[in-house]
Amino acid sequence: MSVEVTTLSQQSSECHDFIQRTAGARLCHTFAWTHMIEAAFAYEGHYLVARENSQICGVLPLMHVHSRLFGDRLLSQPFSDYGGLLTTSKAATEALYDRATEIAMDLRCDSIELRNTVPLPHNLHLRRDKVSMYLPLASDAQDVWKMLRHKTRNRVRKAEKSGLIVKAGGRELISEFYRVWTIRMRELGTPCYPRKLFRVIMQTFPRQSRIFMALQDGMPIAVLFAYTFKGWVQCSWGAALRGYDNLGPNYILNWAAIEHYCGQGMRWYDFGRSTKGSGQHIFKQRWGAFPIELCWQYWTPPGGHLVLATPSNARYRAKVEMWKKIPLCATRVLGPVISPALA
């Protein structure tokens, strides 16, 4: 078993084919995602490929994220709900894990964050407070519609009767999407990602990426950024303006996206991650969505101490409340400076 760090010049169709045929692969596992984040944020990527008898049997995309505020860490994978090891054998899993820890030690990283869906059998800190929710799709959207709860269908109909309409598109909608999304992020006390993140995803994956917007009288009141890979629709970023909750914009928005992707032959609709028991989690359950356990694991060097920015951390809660009080225009300037290190 050998493990190599692959570079852009070494990329081949062999690695692409491995990801395409291996269960559990997501867009973030591709080398293209790693290279995109490297180029956009000046992070150093370490794309590990395991081989046995010259055949690829595993990959582990790692990004070295350095921050004066939050320290050094290896992360698989930034700006994604997923990542972690993608392998076809236990030997490949162990070889990639060992190589990752060697790189972390060489770089003097404070931690490695692996965004797994199945925990590794190692003595690592395991975080399980987040879950993703997915809905199986069908070639005919009406088959999905019939499976929805009566109350959910009524919420969609109510939004339609309220005059809400949905439009969809690409890069031309990024500014409108970002305006609504950053308003909601500030309300949640969360630093917003840079606008360029959404721009580079659209540039790198133009055929897979799409923005949906719910409009009232021509004004966007809810937005959704989605991309596709191997039959999966990934909805990682969405937001709705709070003053319009009674109209149900999130219901008509998600239903419009579901209809669209049924027509595109997609098989699963991933609503994205949320905290277990939160309002977002409950909203997704109302669609009859099934859970995907997010088993994020953290390695630290001997004697190291892990500090996570989670709601259970009192210092984190205080910062959230402080961020909510900062003027919106300031959060759009400061958020993109802070947030990439927390991706």
CB atoms within 10 A of CB 219: 12
286 and 201 in a common domain: yes
β-sheet bridge partners, residue 233: 228, 269
The band of 26, judged by pLDDT with boundaries at 50, 70 and 90, is very high
Q: Is the pLDDT of residue 20 over 90?
A: yes
Instruction: Give the total number of structural domains in the chain.
Output: 2
Is 340 contained in some domain? no
**Among 293, 316, 338, residue at a domain's last position:** 293
CA–CA distance, 186 with 132 (Å, rounded to integer): 22
Per the CB < 8 A criterion, the answer to whether 343 and 75 are in contact is: yes
Beta-carbon-side half-sphere exposure of residue 45 (alpha carbons within 13 Å): 26
The band of 340, judged by pLDDT with boundaries at 50, 70 and 90, is confident
Is 331 contained in some domain? no
CA–CA distance, 208 with 210 (Å, rounded to integer): 7
Query: Which DSSP letter does residue 202 get?
Result: H
The band of 322, judged by pLDDT with boundaries at 50, 70 and 90, is confident
Query: Which DSSP letter does residue 150 get?
Result: H
CA–CA distance, 75 with 65 (Å, rounded to integer): 7
Q: Is the pLDDT of residue 278 over 70?
A: yes
Is 343 contained in some domain? no
Q: Is the pLDDT of residue 311 over 60?
A: no
Query: Which DSSP letter does residue 286 get?
Result: T
**Among 251, 269, 293, residue at a domain's last position:** 293
Q: What share of the chain is helix, strand, coil (3-state, %, to 5)?
A: 40, 30, 30
CA–CA distance, 233 with 261 (Å, rounded to integer): 8
Which contacts of 117-120 are long-range, i.e. CB under 8 A and separated by 24 or more positions? 117/24, 117/82, 117/84, 117/292, 117/293, 117/294, 117/295, 118/295, 119/295, 119/297, 120/85, 120/93, 120/297
Nearest to 250 by CA among 194, 199, 180, 192: 180
- Quote the percentage of the chain above a pLDDT of 70: 96
For the segment 246-260, the average pLDDT, to the nearest whole number, is: 97
For the segment 26-32, the average pLDDT, to the nearest whole number, is: 95
Q: What is the pLDDT of residue 306?
A: 84
80 and 15 in a common domain: yes
Q: What is the pLDDT of residue 70?
A: 74
* Residue range(s) defining the domain that contains residue 45: 2-127+295-326
Is 281 contained in some domain? yes
Q: Is the pLDDT of residue 173 over 60?
A: yes
173 and 256 in a common domain: yes
284 and 264 in a common domain: yes
CA–CA distance, 128 with 107 (Å, rounded to integer): 27
265 and 314 in a common domain: no
157 and 122 in a common domain: no
Average of per-residue pLDDT values in the chain:
92
16 and 120 in a common domain: yes
- Supply the CATH number for residue 308's domain: 3.40.630.30
164 and 143 in a common domain: yes
196 and 147 in a common domain: yes
Q: Is the pLDDT of residue 321 over 90?
A: no
Q: Are strands 232-240 and 268-275 parallel, antiparallel or unpaired?
A: parallel
Residues contacting residue 124 through CB under 8 Å, at least 6 positions apart: 114, 297, 298, 299
Is 57 contained in some domain? yes
Is 211 contained in some domain? yes
Q: What is the pLDDT of residue 312?
A: 58
Q: Each residue of 91-115: pLDDT tens digit?
A: 999 999 999 999 999 999 999 999 9
For the segment 27-40, the average pLDDT, to the nearest whole number, is: 94
β-sheet bridge partners, residue 290: 134
Is 107 contained in some domain? yes
Higher per-residue confidence, 71 vs 165 = 165
Per the CB < 8 A criterion, the answer to whether 256 and 220 are in contact is: no
Residues contacting residue 52 through CB under 8 Å, at least 6 positions apart: 1, 2, 89, 91, 92
For the segment 55-68, the average pLDDT, to the nearest whole number, is: 91
CB atoms within 10 A of CB 103: 17
123 and 139 in a common domain: no
